[in-house]
Amino acid sequence: MTEFVEEDVSVAMEPYQLLIERALKHAGGSHTFTDVVDLVREGKMFFWPGERSCLVTEFVQYPRQRLLHVFLAAGDMDEIKRMEPSLRTFAESVKCSAISLTGRRGWVRALADLGFKEGHTIVVKNL
C-alpha cells in the first residue's frame, strides 16, 4: 500500500470525487468527500484507485479478529472485482481474517463469484 504525503491525497482522490460522492449518497449521510479525504490523509482509511473505479477501505478490529472493510466501492464493477486479489494479499499481510463490504443488497450477488457471501444484515432507523 502506497503512503501519500498530505497534498498527494487530495490530488490522487480528486479525479474520483464524483464517483465517491455518488457512492456516499447510499451511506446515509455519514461522510462527505472531504471527510473521506481527511481519513485517508490521517491513515485511518486507505484509497485504492483504478482506471474507472476506486475503493476506500479501513480496518475493523474486534476482540478476536481484524477485518479489512471496504467502506466504499464505486465505478466499474468488473474493475472493482479485479481489485480483489490485491485486497486479499494486503489483508493477509496485515493479519486480517476476512474482507467485508457494506453496501446495497446488490453487492451480495455481484461478488458471489469471488467467494463473498452475505454475513450480516444491518437495519437502520433514522432519528
Statement: residue 126 has pLDDT above 80: no
The pTM assigned to this predicted structure is 0.86
DSSP structure string for the chain: -PPPPHHHHHHHHGGGHHHHHHHHGGGTTS--HHHHHHHHHTTSSEEEE-SSEEEEEEEEE-SS-EEEEEEEEEE-HHHHHHTHHHHHHHHHHTT-SEEEE---THHHHHTGGGT------------
Statement: residue 15 has pLDDT above 90: yes
Average pLDDT over residues 42-62: 97
Statement: residue 4 has pLDDT above 70: no
| 84-101: pLDDT as tens digits | 999 999 999 999 999 999
Statement: residue 7 has pLDDT above 70: no
Question: What domains are there in the chain, each with its CATH number?
Answer: 6-114 (3.40.630.30)
